[in-house]
Amino acid sequence: MSNHIVESYIQNPTYDKKIDDPNITQVEWNPLCGDKITIYLKIQDDTIQAYSYSGELSRISKGAATFLGDIIVGEKIQDILSRDLNTIESHDFVVSTRRKRAAVIALLACKNAIHKYINDWIQEHFDDILYNT
């Protein structure tokens, strides 16, 4: 496990705030641990212009939510829809097997926010991100 990277994002939660005038918000929660996150996105020209989050989160979920901001701001929304656990781990944000949901809760919220934004009637779940790799 790359504890150094995970710990650095936990210690510096740069996106832990509500941005002004988001285009879309999405709430997700993990019933296994009680984490609840709200994602705020500003989308323009099918690109993520701004991202932030708030919520009651474990340390891993907070670190992963901060990490996610670093890799999606400036990205096309269609590219984000193809992201999964492998995306998170390929950037060395690796956690134990029992904390994988914490590592992807922000990604799940972002993907569902984008689905809502483009109005495609798709709702993803943890299993789609964890096991559809």
CATH number of the CATH domain containing 124 = 3.90.1010.10
Tell me, what's the pLDDT at 1? 40
Q: Mind listing the pLDDT tens digit for each residue in 65-98?
A: 999 999 999 999 999 999 999 999 999 898 999 9
**Is pTM beyond 0.85 here?**
yes
Distance CA 133, CA 128 (A): 8
CB 132 within 8 A of CB 84: yes
What mean pLDDT do residues 94-119 have?
96
77-99: b (≥16 Cβ within 10 Å) or e: beebeebbbebbbeeebbbeeeb
78: containing domain: 3-131
Number of domains in the chain: 1
Quote the pLDDT of residue 109.
98
